[in-house]
A and B are shown apart, each in its own frame.
Chain A
Amino acid sequence: MSDRNRLPVIQEGPAGCGAESPSRRDFLRTAAAGAVIAAVSGCKPDAVVEELQRRHLSELSKDQLQAMLGKLEKKWSAQFGKPVTVGARQPIPGVNFGYGLDLSRCIGCRRCVYACVKENNQSRKNPQIQWIRVLQMEKDHGVSLEHATPYYNPEKVPEPGHFYMPVQCQQCRHPPCTKVCPVKATWKTEDGIVVIDYDWCIGCRCCTAACPYGARKFNWAEPNLPAAEMNPVTDYLGNRPRPMGVVEKCTFCLQRSREGRYPACVEICPVGARKFGNLLDPESEIRQVMDRKRVFVFKEELATEPQFYYFYAT
C-alpha cells in the first residue's frame, strides 16, 4: 500500500528522485561549492567537503563505508583518548527481533535506564538523554497515561498500589517516524530494528513528533559524554557518539544484539522482567512468552504493530 510508505508532503518532489529530498541534495551541492571556495581561500575544509558530498549509507560501496568508519574511529580515538571501534553490523539472516517486558515483575528501579545510557553513549546532562523512560502507573487505573509519571522518586520501589511500565522505542512494523523523515535518515532494517543515520539527520524532529511513544530524543545541545565513561565499542547506526542537533533512540543495542548478545537493559534487570530473542525461532524466549502469557502491545489502536511486547507472567 503506497499510502503506508509515503506522505503527501514527500510526494510533491520531482519524479525519480527516490526517497531523498531534492532540496537537501541541492543544498549540499551549494554548500559543497561554498566549501571548495573556502578551500581555495586557504582554509582546510577537505573533510567537510567530503562529508557533505557523501552519499546515502545505502549507496556507499564497501570501500567507501570502510573508509568512512576508519575516519570516525580515528577521530573519536583521539577525542576520547582510547581505541574506539565503529562497526557497521548487518542484520543476521533469518532473525527478526522481539522484546518482551513483564509488567508483573518490573519494580521501577530504573537500572535499565542507566545501563542503557552507559552502553549507548547518551549525553549525561545538558542535555540529559535517556532512551528508556519508566512510567509509574496506578493499579486502580491500569495502563493509563493519564495516571502515569516518570518522575517518581521514593526511598524504595515498588510502591504499594503502583506498577511500572518502561517505555522505549517499540521498533514498530509500521513506524510512523520513518515515514515522515524528509531525508530518509531513518529506516527499518531486516531484523526489525529502526535505525538512524545520525550524519544524515537534519534535525527537523518530524520523527520525534510522529512517534506515539515519545521514544525519540533530540540533542538540543552538544552531547555531554565524559571520555572516561565512553563505551568504545560502537556501531555506526547504534551507539557511536552523536553530534548536536540530531535525533536518537533505542536500537535494541544493535552493537550487541547483532552479535548474538542480549541488550544491556536485559542483562541489568534485577528482576528478570526483560526478555529478548528471535521471533522467527519457536524455541526462543520471546516466543515462549508469546505462547504462554497474556501479551499486549502499547497503543495497539494506532496500528504501528510494535515488535516490543508487554506481558503479565502472573
Chain B
Amino acid sequence: MNIPSWRAVLPLAAAAILAAPLAAPGGPPAAPAKATAKAPAATAPAAQDIQAEPPPFTEGIFPCSQCHDKAGDPTPRQLAFHDDLQAELHHGPPTRWCLDCHDNAKRDFLHLINGKQIPFTESYELCGQCHGDKFRDWKVGVHGKRVGMWNGKKTYFLCVNCHNPHNPRFKALKPEPPPIPPQEQGR
C-alpha cells in the first residue's frame, strides 16, 4: 500500500478506473452495435464495435482493493485521505457521496441503485441511471463521439473519456488561431 502515489493519482484514477480493459467480455452496449449501418448492399455487416481505450491509470492506483480489502464505514463524512477528490467532487447535489457509485463491499466495482455490481468498463450503465436522455442518445450515436467507419467498425467513447465523473462539466479549451482577415493576407 503506497499511500503517497495514490494521492497523486486520485483525481485521474476516478476517471481512469472506469476504463480498464478493452471491449468488455459481457459485450458492449447493445445499441452502439445497432448503429452500425445496415447500409444497402456492399457495406460492412454488423461488425463488433470497439470500446475506446479509457484514460490511463496512474501506476499503482488500481485495483482499489489493494487498500480497500473490506467494506469500510459507509457514513458520509469529510475524508482524511481521498480529500483532494472529495474537494473536486462537483456532480449533482452536495450530498453526493463516494459510495453512491462506488461499491463498498467490492471496491473494484461500481454499483447501480438496485445494488447490481458493475465493472468500471460498464460505467455507462451507472451514468444512464440519472442521465437517461443522454444514455439513449449515446446508444444510437447521437450523443458522444465515435471514430472509425461510418458504415462499419467504429470505436465508441465512454462517458468518462470526455467527462470526469467527479466533475463532469466539459472544460473550456483554448481555441485554435482565428483565420487571417482578407485585408491582412496581402494578395
A positions within 8 Å CB-CB of B: 92-95, 107-111, 113-114, 125-128, 130, 133, 150-158, 220-221, 257, 260-262, 266-267, 269-272, 275-278, 280-281, 283-285, 288-289, 292-293, 313
Contacts and interface: CB of A to CB of B under 8 A. Distances in A.
A152 B142 contact: no
Interface in B75-132: none
B175 A133 contact: no
B179 to A, nearest CB: 6
Nearest to B40: A94
Given A271-B162, A277-B37, A285-B142, 17 more contacts: A92-B42, A94-B42, A111-B176, A125-B185, A128-B185, A156-B175, A157-B173, A221-B187, A260-B151, A271-B145, A275-B142, A278-B37, A280-B40, A281-B39, A283-B34, A283-B38, A284-B150
- Ranked nearest first, the 3 interchain pairs of A and B with the lowest CB-CB distance are A94-B40, A272-B145, A110-B176
Contacts of A269: 145
6 contacts: A133-B179, A156-B173, A156-B174, A275-B142, A281-B39, A283-B38
Given A272-B162, A277-B37, A283-B34, A109 B173 contact: yes
Contacts of A289: 142
A186 B177 CA distance: 31
B172 interface: yes
Interface of B: 34-44, 137, 140-152, 154, 157, 162, 170, 172-181, 185-187
Given A220-B187, A283-B37, A154 B175 contact: yes
Specify the main secondary structure of chain B where it touches its partner: loop
Given A127-B185, A260-B151, A151 B178 contact: yes
Nearest to A280: B40
Contacts of A154: 175
B180 A128 contact: yes
A39 B48 CA distance: 60
A93 B151 CA distance: 13
Nearest to B181: A151
B110 to A, nearest CB: 23
Contacts of B177: 110, 153
B172 A158 contact: yes
B150 A272 contact: no
B149 A107 contact: no
Contacts of A130: 179
Contact of A285 (B35, B42, B179): B35
Nearest to A272: B145
Nearest to A259: B149
Given A126-B185, A221-B187, A262-B150, A156 B172 contact: yes
A112 to B, nearest CB: 9
Contact of A126 (B41, B43, B186): B186
Contact of B179 (A151, A266, A270): A151
Contact of A113 (B44, B137, B162, B176): B176
Contact of A94 (B35, B41, B145): B41
A271 B150 contact: no
A283 B151 CA distance: 10
B169 to A, nearest CB: 12
Contacts of A93: 40-42
A110 B146 CA distance: 18
Given A257-B150, A284-B150, A128 B179 contact: yes
Contacts of B178: 110, 150-153
B186 to A, nearest CB: 7
Contacts of A109: 173-176
A270 B173 CA distance: 10
A241 B177 CA distance: 23
A147 B150 CA distance: 35
Given A94-B40, A278-B151, A262 B146 contact: yes
Given A109-B176, A127-B185, A156-B172, A292 B142 contact: yes
Contacts of A266: 147
B159 to A, nearest CB: 11
Given A92-B42, A150-B179, A283-B35, A127 B187 contact: yes
A284 B176 CA distance: 31
B175 A157 contact: yes
Contact of A157 (B137, B172, B181): B172
Contacts of A277: 37, 150-151
